[in-house]
A and B are shown apart, each in its own frame.
Chain A
Amino acid sequence: MLAYVLRRIFQSLIVLLAVGFVAFAMFSFVGDPVDNMLGQERTQADIDRLREQLGLDQPFIVQYWRFLEQAAQGNFGLSYRQGRPVSEIIAERLPATIELAFVSGFLAFVGGVGLGVFTAIRRHGVLPSFIMTASLIGVSLPTFLIGILLIYIFSVEFGWLPSFGRGEVVDLGGWTTGFLTASGLKALILPAITLGLYQMTLIMRLVRTEMLEVLRMDYIRFARARGLTEKTINFRHALKNTLVPVITITGLQLGSIIAFAIITETVFQWPGVGLLFINAVQFVDIPVMAAYLMMISVMFVGINLIVDILYFAIDPRLRIERSVGGH
């Protein structure tokens, strides 16, 4: 067990290093930060001085090594754009993204499971067909279009919900939350729907397929034969057996919700890490880009590591395979 976990952790570290390597190799193609940092009146001497100061005159391998050295000591450098420590900026922005991801993940799960069960049980009829058709829109429409549409309808036409920002937030010792104010909650609705819609339709279609599969199983027929109520069959027996793969997928999707909140955050001017990353790319703010990419890869690698370890704990076959592999 321990050897397996250690090997997994070692592999994860290699993945992280590779992500950082690729990221730093790419940064030189994003543009030249020096041009953004100095005004249009700068001279060649200023450019050379700043480039040397920032170490941009070094090959990317050296820049990457410096980054690793600093990062190992918990120092991610100063943002070129804001002139503040990157760790401070990310800590300031992370709560916004996590709250948004959490709410949209929750919406996606509840809505997806509910609608999935409904369309699986009632396969015919106007409403289920409508939901199935509408779910295609959720899968196929790009996020920014959904966001703009929602803003147009609910902010501009009806004036019910805010079109941008987080509303009033309450600072709980370094964690800013929008859950405690009315305007904060209102501000969450549109971005959460926009971000969660794709995941919701995905979960819904998954639940429906799994559920249809399960409903054909023998034990469901026996349950029917026993005279159990439809409600008990559908929810106690069928849904329970459907949920195992759904929960796995949802867990993995939560990672991608955080990682891909970029577009939603840009449309709604949501002050999270995704918006921070977009600004960083436009400005060629290398320290912020590097820290963000490393953070996202740590998150993905972490989730996968946990899943692997859980599988190991749950699935006895993995353990047997190990002893067989010893031959």
Chain B
Amino acid sequence: MQLTHSKKTLRTMLMTAAVSAVAISSVSAETLRWARAGDSLTLDPHAQNEGPTHTLAHQIYEPLIIRDMSGQFQAALATDWAPSPDDPNVWVFNLREGVTYHDGAAFTAEDVVFSIGRAQSENSNMKELLNSIVEVRAVDDLTVEMVTDGPNPILPSNLTNLFMMDSGWAEANGVVEVQDVEGGETTFAATNANGTGAYKLVSREPDVRTVLTQNENYWGIGQFPLAITEIIYTPIQNAATRVAALLSGEVDFIQDVPVQDLDRVANTDGLVVKTAPQNRVIFFGMNMGAADIANDNVDGANPLADVRVRRAMNMAINREAIQQVVMRGQSQPAGMIAPPFVNGWTAEMDGSVSTDVEAARVLMAEAGYSDGFSIQLDCPNDRYINDEAICQAAVGMMAQIGITVNLDAKPKAQHFPLITNGETDFYMLGWGVPTYDSEYIFNFLTHTRGDDRGSWNGTGYSNPEMDTMIQSLASETDLNARNATIQAIWDDVQEQQLYLPIHHQVLNWGMSDAVGIDVSPEDDPKFKFFTMN
């Protein structure tokens, strides 16, 4: 991995690691002022399935299982979980004893049943992750069984952002139902919160300021550093202002440091930048399914339908140049569309690409496009790091093999509907994998587009054999057999060059050097893990 760490950053990280053991015992009041580009959309934990919303919710509410700052499973409200020995369709969760909500109510199995049911309801945005759950039953106060429609080996991965709400509190405040946007009324749960998490909500003005204070009855006291006693969260949308606020010491911790300001922050006394690969891969998709495509100059044929053209395009992309010039070193060139932590990723596939313009020209000629063709590339300009600049670089690279690319960059709100409605022939997309398993990628990106799966597959690719393999992943309990199927699907994806991978995005967090934490691949700081010195 070629990431540019400044020596100072590395030194501070080592120091922080050494100090963190000590910091656990310190109980002084520490306030962390935290800024990132966007605010949480709602405090209702099941209403939105969106990064900043989950990040804030993670401080207040807890799921049964969380991912720690390095992305590994960690017990939260469940202490352990396993498939039932009697029935492969059942997962058994043992719950943590003695956990209370911020209002003092006890956390019990009943709340799990209620919360999963709430998250599965019509207006919930979390329901797709719970498709396979047929029934949730409370065996006793501290044991829950989840029945799935077939064996589901990766069910725990779908529960890491599934927060537990108190059924009594929900009933008392009329928020048993997830808010219905068109219902005409705002709900109590959108602006109030009662979780079991390490921090309690003190005040919240949406888009302005949210204040959290440490929960003195938290079950994890003594197990986590919990060095921060108060969190003041301010969204700062403008990147330059956000960096200025960090430089001037008005905030202690910012996410989303723009790549051009990394050196500025790292070279300032008292500040450090920490960097890690993000759970997000950036790539181009091509409409290969249509007989003829609209946005090119070839009549009666679709050049993208020819795998040789797709391979030539893949070879024409100089990923190192994009990394060095466009991303200032802040990316990891990719050869497959899965981030490195995901089950199914291999170093071999990810490192399989190399730029070879000559060979690409030969392939183009073999495919009958020695004179090239022209096509439109649709690109977002406010979604990924330097997204439009990457597309501009690709325009030049495609020109080398005779493909004239007309770039059309738009805000994300206009870009993504093009993909989901199948109105683009050549597009940029980024994909994160919350379940850390390849099945998630296949379900959305390579399965034939249909009602349940393939909703983000803008390539028009449809292969019934692959679809059968993808569907079999959901219920295959033999992990070796499942992994073999995953590999077989990936072989096909790579062979067919379904997508043109560009790079894995890299995350940068800027912070005061008093703050001790490593960057999490999900870009979701969980403050109970933070140390302060």
Closest to B43 in A: A83
Q: When each residue 396-435 of chain B gets 1 if its CB lies under 8 Å from chain A and 0 otherwise, what string results?
A: 0000000000000001111011001000000000000000
| Cα distance, A78 to B191, chains bound together (Å) | 14
* Contact across chains for B234 and A164 when beta carbons are under 8 A apart: yes
* Neighbouring B residues of A75 by C-beta, 8 Å: 184
A240 part of interface (Cβ distance < 8 Å): no
Which residue of the partner chain, among A40, A55, A80, A164, contacts B236 with CB atoms under 8 Å?
A: A164
The 8 Å CB contact of A32, one of B48, B181, B187, B413, is B413
Instruction: Say yes or no: A35 contacts B207, CB within 8 Å.
Output: no
Chain A residues positioned under 8 Å from B186 (CB to CB): 78, 83-85, 88
> Which of B113-121, B449-457, B503-511 binds A?
B449-457
B-side contacts of A266, CB under 8 Å? 237-238
Q: Is A99's CB within 8 Å of the partner chain B?
A: no
Quick check: is A39 within 8 A (CB to CB) of the other chain? yes
Interface segment among B243-251, B318-326, B475-483: the answer is B243-251
Query: In the bound complex, how far is the Cα of B455 from the Cα of A39, in angstroms?
Result: 12
B206 within 8 A of A: yes
Chain A residues whose C-beta falls within 8 Å of the C-beta of B412 in the assembled complex = 31, 282
Question: Known: A83-B41, A155-B250. Contact between A163 and B179, CB under 8 A?
Answer: no
Q: What's the least CB distance linking B251 to chain A, in Å?
A: 9
B128: Cβ under 8 A from any A Cβ? yes
Is B196 located at the chain interface by the 8 A CB criterion?
no
CA distance A269 to B245 in the complex (A): 11
Contact A165 B417 (CB under 8 A): no
Nearest-Cβ distance from residue A287 to partner chain B, whole angstroms = 10
User: CB within 8 A of B181: which of A80, A152, A267?
Assistant: A80
A153 to chain B, nearest CB (A): 10
Near A by CB (< 8 A), chain B positions 474-520 give none
Q: A81 to B414, Cβ gap below 8 A?
A: no
Interface residues of B in 187-240 (CB under 8 A from A): 187, 190-191, 205-209, 234-238, 240
- B323-363 residues with Cβ-Cβ distance < 8 A to A are none
Known: A151-B244, A156-B248. A82 touches B413 (CB 8 A): no
Among residues of B, the one whose C-beta sits closest to the C-beta of A36 is B413
Q: Indicate which residue in A40, A46, A165, A268 contacts B456 across the interface (CB closer than 8 Å).
A: A40
Which of A31, A271, A276 is B414 in contact with, Cβ under 8 Å? A31
CA distance A282 to B412 in the complex (A): 8
A229 within 8 A of B: no
Sort chain B's interface into a size bin.
35 or more
Alpha-carbon distance A83/B183, docked complex (angstroms):
10
Identify which of A30, A42, A77, A269 gathers the most chain B CB atoms within 10 Å of its CB.
A269
Residues of B within 8 A of A33 (CB): 413
Q: Does A148 contact B (CB under 8 A)?
A: yes
In the assembled complex, which residues on chain A have CB atoms less than 8 Å from the CB atom of B187? 83
In the complex, B302 has a CB within 8 A of chain A: no
CA distance in complex: A165, B241 (Å): 10
A223 contacts the other chain (Cβ, under 8 Å)?
A: no
What residue in chain A is nearest B38 (Cβ atoms)?
A: A279
Q: What is the CA–CA distance of A42 and B451 in the complex, to the nearest angstrom?
A: 10
Q: Which of A83, A89, A284 contacts B179 (CB 8 A)?
A: A83
- Name the B residues within 8 Å of A269 (CB-CB): 234-238, 241
Contact indicator B236/A282 (Cβ below 8 Å): no
Q: Could you say which residues of chain B place their CB within 8 Å of the CB of A148? A: 240-241, 244
The answer to whether A82 touches B206 (Cβ under 8 A) is: yes
**Measured between C-beta atoms, what is the minimum distance from A99 to chain B in Å?**
14
Closest Cβ–Cβ distance, residue A126 to chain B (whole Å):
33
**Complex Cα distance A284/B411, Å?**
11
C-alpha spacing A267/B221, complex, angstroms: 40
Residue of B nearest to A267 (CB): B238
Which among B41, B129, B208, B411 is the interface contact of A282 at CB below 8 angstroms? Answer: B411
Which residue in chain B gives the minimum CB-CB distance to A159? Answer: B248
Contact with A39, one of B49, B248, B382, B417 (Cβ below 8 angstroms): B49
A283 proximal to B (CB < 8 A):
yes
Judge whether B207 and A39 touch: CB under 8 Å.
Answer: no
| B49 near A35: Cβ-Cβ < 8 Å | no
Residues from chain A with a CB closer than 8 A to the CB of B455 are 42-44
Binary flags per residue of A207-244, CB closer than 8 Å to B gives 1, else 0:
00000000000000000000000000000000000000
Assess whether A131 is interfacial by the CB under 8 Å rule: no
Mask of B93-106 contacts with A, CB within 8 angstroms, 1/0: 00000000000000
Would A53 and B125 count as touching, CB distance under 8 A?
A: no
A155 near B413: Cβ-Cβ < 8 Å? no
B244 / chain A contacts, CB cutoff of 8 Å: 148, 151-152, 155-156, 163-164
Report yes or no: B182 in contact with A78, Cβ–Cβ below 8 A.
yes
Q: Is A178 interfacial (CB-CB < 8 Å)?
A: no
- In the complex, which residues of chain A have a beta carbon less than 8 angstroms from the beta carbon of B234? 164-165, 269
Q: Which of B182, B205, B444 has the most CB of A within 10 A?
A: B182
Q: Nearest Cβ in chain A — how far from B467, in angstroms?
A: 16
CA distance in complex: A159, B404 (Å): 50
- State A315–B479 Cα separation when bound (angstroms): 88
Interface residues of A in 37-96 (CB under 8 A from B): 37-47, 50, 53-55, 75, 77-78, 80-85, 88-89, 92
Whether B147 is near chain A, meaning CB under 8 Å from some CB there, is: no
Give the CA-CA distance A151 to B242 in the complex, in Å.
11
> A180 vs B129: C-alpha distance in the bound complex, in angstroms?
49
The answer, yes or no, to whether B89 is at the interface (CB within 8 Å) is: no
Closest CB in chain A relative to B280 CB, distance in Å: 11
CB < 8 Å neighbour of B207 from A37, A45, A151, A279: A279
- B254 CB, nearest partner CB in chain A, Å: 11
Inter-subunit contact B456/A31 (CB<8 Å): no
A159 to B42, CA, bound (A): 34
B50 touches A (CB below 8 Å): yes
Bound complex: CA A43 to CA B179 (Å) = 19
B65: CB under 8 A from chain A?
no
Is B456 within 8 A of A151, CB to CB?
no
- A275 an interface residue at 8 Å Cβ cutoff? yes
> Shortest distance in angstroms between A143's beta carbon and chain B's nearest beta carbon?
12
User: Nearest-CB distance from A83 to chain B (Å)?
Assistant: 5
Tell me the nearest residue of chain A to B35, going by C-beta.
A164
Q: Is the CB of B248 within 8 A of A31?
A: no
The CA of A284 and the CA of B205, in the complex, are separated in Å by: 21
In the complex, how many angstroms separate the beta carbon of B457 from the nearest chain A beta carbon?
Answer: 12
Query: For residue B382, which residues in chain A have a CB less than 8 angstroms away from its CB?
Result: 282
Chain B 122-135 per-residue mask, 1 if CB under 8 angstroms from chain A, else 0: 00011011000000
Q: If A44-B455, A54-B182 touch, does A83 touch B47 (CB 8 Å cutoff)? A: yes
Chain B contact residues, CB within 8 Å of chain A: 41-42, 44, 47-50, 125-126, 128-129, 179-187, 190-191, 205-209, 234-238, 240-242, 244-245, 247-250, 382, 411-414, 416-417, 420, 444, 451-452, 455-456
Known: A31-B414, A35-B420; 16 extra A-B contacts, CB below 8 A, are A31-B412, A32-B416, A33-B413, A35-B413, A37-B48, A39-B125, A55-B182, A80-B181, A82-B207, A83-B187, A88-B186, A148-B241, A162-B250, A163-B244, A271-B205, A282-B412
* 9 closest residue pairs by CB, A with B: A31-B413, A39-B49, A41-B128, A32-B417, A31-B414, A271-B208, A84-B186, A163-B244, A155-B248
Residue contacts A-B, CB under 8 angstroms, 11 given: A32-B414, A39-B48, A39-B126, A83-B179, A83-B187, A84-B206, A151-B240, A164-B245, A268-B241, A269-B235, A278-B237
